């Protein structure tokens, strides 16, 4: 379990400590700060403790002086309201509130859905004009639970390199292009993803974030997007025209539409646990001290490591989170969400979110990081810690159990099971059953369902897998490639959900940079010549995906079924794990599936029931159709490799 510090970090002083507030002053209807109605536009901002509020209308997002200022009136629900009876399409707006006799800085509000360049002003648009052709017919492709494979992607990383063959490099539209190739003629972009066999594309934060200046996109700028500015509007730097509010919206929809058409579902990485800066946020500029957790002296708590942490347990922020997520699902057809530092959020809020989103899309995919940078200002038993995952309603968590078992600890002191390091077996076994309670597993369970267990060895955080190997082992490149194949074999045969980081499949590196959140493209971009150089590794990844798709026995989806049908084989070695999944009639085309994961430096053989088997993976080669027939009573694996066999009917 993640070990917390025992106190909040005391960093920035708030404009004001959270004032007592009548919680009934929460609007029942969804918060809509700007409603364009042709000949009139209705505005509102939630600021129940403010003394006054003013709406300002601008001709341009870059203008400093408004063309109109309108006094707003306070309603019983805490909303200040104003209606401008003229056609404001194409105009921009801000709100300004007076709090404790001081006018705070202007803000587009907390829920702006359309914004101008750099997100400093909200935009008045006609939403009916933002849909691409055929949007009304866009549908999420059907993906069975046993076919879920998640591919984490950063827009710039994936397409910005000169070898990507993509025209709209680093943009939403990059994922609408088909037929792109690297210099050697191998598929890149969406076609690469189709070859790879993944079914969900997880996009790093794609809402409007703060630190990229959209007026200077010809200059080198980079961020992962963990610096939220406007949660409900797409990021302008990924659009072809950040000055036009409608363009970023339409192009985001085009991207989702194109991915759906190619068979992929779309997940958004969301960072509701903190904002880039509390004083600069719409939250603090409308209702100071309410949306963030603070200590008794009025200082911001900092479980995020980013100078603040939001207060999900407070009714208005809970409402904001729920409605924001609903907005992305309904307006942009998003299929799932990955929650950054989910342990900062409370369990009740997360479960409300799950119930509401499942009402919209019964198979929405939800998961997050079950940890935080330091201790949130709530008790451990009420927050969405990994250890509390069993209390979450259809929400999963990343498994550092299987991650650290297979690849080694965060300090890079060793490369774990894939390099023959002992002491990893128990956590690997835990991960293979999907984090559930199992009679042969000694690690305490934290998942009720294997679909709550995200099986991964690397993601955008920390070293990518190649750089980690370079830090943790002196092995040759050939040996490292064998380790990568072994590691990913474990992920793909896990009863949890396999998750891979973009570029792992072509042995990408980031020149040893561990935390590349603001590193340049020269560090982060995927060089697509690597696909040519490491085509064998890519083919192995693709074959593992095909094996999983062909054999739903690797994703039984139910804890009871796993306890009934999944059994570990005693190996007598700390660096060897083997298991059989039996009684698959009616579930799989095979009667049984047997896997031997050999992290040792010697060939291993184990006795199994005599039968007729099809070899799906062995000696660093894999093929879902099978490449050898075998009849016998043992299974073997070369050093640092996986063997997967299926027993025929």
Contact between residue 346 and residue 315 where contact means Cβ atoms under 8 Å apart: no
**Plot region of 507 (φ>0 → left; ψ -120 to 50 → alpha; else → beta):** left
CA distance 398 to 371: 9
- H helices present in 534-646, as ranges: 535-550, 559-565
Going by the DSSP 8-state scheme, the letter that residue 563 receives in this structure is: H
Q: What is the pLDDT of residue 553?
A: 98
Q: What is the pLDDT of residue 568?
A: 98
Q: What is the pLDDT of residue 5?
A: 30
Closest to 484 measured CA to CA, from 644, 620, 639, 626 = 620
How buried is residue 65: exposed, middle or buried, by Cβ count under 10 Å (0-12/13-18/19+)? exposed
pLDDT at 15 over 70: no
Fold agreement between 34-109 and 565-647: yes
Q: Strand, helix or coil at 359?
A: helix
User: Token digits for 431?
Assistant: 């991960």
CA distance 146 to 547: 11
Q: What is the pLDDT of residue 24?
A: 57
pLDDT at 30 over 80: yes
Report pLDDT digits (tens) over 609-626: 999 999 999 999 999 999
Round the average pLDDT of the chain to a whole number and report it: 95
CA distance 420 to 486: 11
| Residue 399 pLDDT level (bands cut at 50, 70, 90) | very high
Report pLDDT digits (tens) over 435-449: 999 999 999 999 999
Q: What is the pLDDT of residue 338?
A: 98
**Plot region of 140 (φ>0 → left; ψ -120 to 50 → alpha; else → beta):** beta
CATH topology of domain 565-647: Immunoglobulin-like (2.60.40)
Full 3-state SS string of 484-537: HHHHHHHHHCCCCEEEEECCHHHCCCCCCCCCCCCCCHHHHCCCCHHHHHCHHH
Report pLDDT digits (tens) over 453-463: 999 999 999 99
CA distance 230 to 439: 47
**Plot region of 515 (φ>0 → left; ψ -120 to 50 → alpha; else → beta):** beta
Which distant-in-sequence residues (6+ apart) come within 8 Å of 488 by Cβ? 457, 500, 504, 540, 541, 544
What integer is the mean pLDDT of 535-560? 98
Q: What is the pLDDT of residue 402?
A: 98
Report pLDDT digits (tens) over 298-323: 999 999 999 999 999 999 999 999 99
pLDDT at 540 over 50: yes
Q: What is the largest CA-CA distance in the chain?
A: 84
Catalytic residues: 340, 369
Q: What is the pLDDT of residue 19?
A: 45
User: Token digits for 207?
Assistant: 């809402």
Q: Work out the percent of the chain whose per-residue pLDDT is above 90.
A: 96
pLDDT at 474 over 60: yes
Going by the DSSP 8-state scheme, the letter that residue 584 receives in this structure is: -
pLDDT at 184 over 70: yes
Buried b (16+ CB within 10 A) or exposed e, 498-521: bbbbbbbbbbbbbeeeeebbebeb
Which distant-in-sequence residues (6+ apart) come within 8 Å of 18 by Cβ? 289, 290, 294
What CATH class is the domain 34-109? mainly beta
| Residue 25 pLDDT level (bands cut at 50, 70, 90) | confident
Q: How far is CA 37 from the centre of its chain?
A: 35
Contact between residue 53 and residue 74 where contact means Cβ atoms under 8 Å apart: yes
Domain boundaries, the chain: 34-109, 565-647
First-to-last CA distance in the chain?
43
Contact between residue 587 and residue 644 where contact means Cβ atoms under 8 Å apart: no
Full 3-state SS string of 36-81: ECCCCEEEEEECCCCCEEEEEEECCCCCCCCCEEEECEECCCCEEE
Q: What is the pLDDT of residue 453?
A: 98
Q: How far is CA 41 from the centre of its chain?
A: 35
| Four-residue CA torsion sign, 161, 166, 171, 172 | negative
Q: Strand, helix or coil at 231?
A: strand
What integer is the mean pLDDT of 136-154? 98
CA distance 121 to 115: 6
User: Token digits for 624?
Assistant: 């879902």
Q: Strand, helix or coil at 301?
A: coil
Backbone angles phi, psi at 317, to 5 degrees: -75, -35
Which distant-in-sequence residues (6+ apart) come within 8 Å of 159 by Cβ? 166, 168, 169, 170, 171, 174, 175, 188, 189
What integer is the mean pLDDT of 550-555? 98
User: Token digits for 23?
Assistant: 């919680």
Which distant-in-sequence residues (6+ apart) come within 8 Å of 323 by Cβ? 30, 31, 111
Report pLDDT digits (tens) over 55-76: 999 999 999 999 999 999 999 9
What integer is the mean pLDDT of 262-277? 98
User: Token digits for 50?
Assistant: 């403010």
Q: How far is CA 494 from CA 148, 572, 599, 646, in A?
A: 12, 21, 16, 16
Q: How far is CA 484 from the centre of its chain?
A: 22
Q: How far is CA 609 from CA 28, 592, 619, 647, in A?
A: 62, 10, 22, 10
Q: Strand, helix or coil at 303?
A: coil
Q: What is the pLDDT of residue 648?
A: 84
Q: How far is CA 599 from the centre of its chain?
A: 29
pLDDT at 14 over 70: no
Going by the DSSP 8-state scheme, the letter that residue 386 receives in this structure is: G
pLDDT at 1 over 80: no
CA distance 82 to 45: 9
What integer is the mean pLDDT of 504-524? 96
Q: What is the pLDDT of residue 649?
A: 73
CA distance 284 to 293: 12
Closest to 216 measured CA to CA, from 117, 123, 93, 90 = 117
């Amino acid at each position: 379990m993640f070990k917390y510090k025992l106190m909040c970090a005391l960093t920035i002083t708030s404009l004001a400590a959270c004032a007592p507030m009548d919680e009934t002053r929460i609007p029942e209807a969804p918060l809509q700060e700007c409603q364009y109605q042709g000949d009139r536009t209705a505005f509102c901002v939630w600021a129940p403790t403010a003394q006054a509020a003013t709406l300002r209308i601008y001709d341009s997002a870059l203008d400093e002086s408004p063309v109109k200022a309108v006094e707003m009136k306070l309603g019983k629900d805490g909303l200040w309201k104003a209606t401008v009876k003229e056609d404001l399409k194409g105009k921009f707006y801000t709100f300004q509130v007076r709090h404790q006799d001081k006018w705070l800085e202007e803000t587009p509000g907390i829920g702006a859905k359309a914004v101008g360049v750099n997100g400093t002003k909200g935009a008045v648009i006609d939403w009916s004009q933002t849909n691409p052709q055929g949007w009304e017919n866009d549908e999420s492709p059907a993906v069975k639970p046993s076919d879920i494979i998640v591919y984490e992607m950063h827009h710039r990383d994936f397409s910005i390199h000169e070898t990507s063959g993509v025209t709209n490099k680093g943009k939403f539209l990059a994922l609408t292009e088909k037929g792109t190739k690297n210099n050697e003629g191998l598929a890149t972009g969406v076609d690469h993803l189709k070859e790879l066999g993944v079914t969900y594309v997880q996009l790093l934060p794609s809402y409007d974030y703060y630190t990229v200046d959209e007026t200077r996109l010809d200059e080198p700028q980079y961020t992962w997007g963990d610096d939220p500015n406007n949660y409900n509007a797409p990021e302008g730097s990924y659009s072809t025209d950040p000055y036009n509010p409608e363009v970023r919206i339409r192009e985001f929809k085009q991207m989702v539409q194109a991915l759906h058409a190619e068979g992929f579902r779309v997940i958004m990485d969301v960072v509701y646990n903190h904002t880039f800066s509390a004083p600069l946020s719409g939250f603090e500029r409308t209702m100071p001290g309410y949306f963030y957790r603070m200590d008794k002296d009025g200082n911001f708590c900092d479980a995020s490591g980013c100078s603040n942490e939001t207060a999900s347990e407070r009714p208005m922020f809970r409402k904001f989170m729920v409605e924001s997520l609903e907005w992305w699902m309904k307006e942009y057809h998003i299929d799932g969400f990955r929650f950054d530092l989910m342990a900062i959020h409370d369990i009740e809020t997360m479960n409300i979110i799950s119930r509401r989103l499942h009402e919209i899309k019964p198979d929405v995919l939800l998961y997050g990081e079950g940890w935080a940078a330091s201790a949130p200002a709530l008790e451990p038993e009420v927050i969405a810690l990994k250890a509390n995952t069993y209390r979450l309603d259809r929400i999963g968590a990343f498994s550092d159990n299987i991650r650290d078992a297979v690849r080694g600890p965060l300090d890079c002191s060793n490369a774990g099971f894939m390099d023959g390091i002992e002491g990893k077996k128990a956590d690997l076994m835990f991960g293979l059953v999907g984090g559930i309670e199992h009679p042969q597993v000694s690690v305490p369970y934290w998942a009720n369902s294997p679909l709550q267990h995200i099986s991964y060895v690397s993601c955008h955080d920390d070293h990518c897998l190649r750089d980690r190997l370079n830090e943790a082992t002196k092995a040759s490149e050939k040996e490292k490639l064998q380790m990568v194949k072994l590691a990913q074999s474990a992920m793909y045969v896990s009863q949890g959900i396999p998750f891979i980081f973009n570029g792992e499949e072509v042995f990408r590196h980031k020149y040893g940079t561990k935390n590349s959140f603001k590193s340049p493209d020269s560090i982060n971009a995927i060089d697509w010549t690597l696909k040519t150089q490491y085509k064998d590794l890519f083919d192995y990844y693709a074959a593992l995906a095909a094996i999983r798709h062909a054999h739903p026995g690797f994703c039984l989806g139910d804890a009871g079924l796993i306890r009934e049908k999944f059994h570990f084989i005693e190996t007598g070695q700390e660096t060897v794990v083997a298991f059989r999944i039996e009684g698959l009639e009616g579930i799989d085309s095979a009667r049984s599936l047997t896997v031997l994961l050999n992290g040792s430096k010697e060939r291993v053989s184990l006795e199994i029931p005599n039968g007729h088997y099809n070899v799906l993976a062995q000696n660093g080669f894999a093929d879902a159709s099978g490449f050898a027939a075998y009849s016998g009573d043992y299974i073997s694996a070369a050093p640092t490799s996986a063997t997967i066999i299926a027993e025929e009917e």
